[in-house]
Structure 1
Amino acid sequence: MADELQTGIRNYRKYESGDAKPTLDGLVQIADILDVSTDYLLCRDEFLAKHVD
């Protein structure tokens, strides 16, 4: 994943441990790589499902 994001493994491990957060562009890249929405990554997909009319 670090290679796909063009970042160092140490930096990516900080994302996984919660010590750092990816940039908005990085978040979009992660979502694209995993083929999920950014809402899913941010744990907001349930929120959106409850508030869609």
Structure 2
Amino acid sequence: MADSLQTGIRNYRKYESGHANPTLEGLVKIADILNVSTDYLLCRDDFLKSAVAASDEH
């Protein structure tokens, strides 16, 4: 993954441990590699699903 992101293994380990955050471009690359949305990576997918469900009720 670090190679795909063109970053060092130390830096990538910081992402995994929560001691650093990837850049916006890095976040998009991670999402593309894992075939998920950036919302999923940011733990916002449940929020979006609940917002859609609430709008469907009205």
TM-score (norm 1): 0.97
Q: Which structure would you say has the larger Rg?
A: 2
What corresponds to 2:43 in structure 1?
Answer: 43
Deviations 1:3-41 (A, max 9, x none): 000000000000001110000000000000000000000
Q: Does 1:17 align with 2:17?
A: yes
TM-score (norm 2): 0.89
- Alpha carbon RMSD of aligned pairs, Å? 0.5
- Greater RCO, 1 or 2 (C-alpha within 8 Å, sep 6+): 1
* Count of aligned pairs: 53
Q: Identify unmatched segments of 5+ residues in structure 1.
A: none
Q: Identify unmatched segments of 5+ residues in structure 2.
A: none
CA distance in 2, matches of 1:18, 1:40: 16
The answer to which structure has the higher helix fraction is: 2
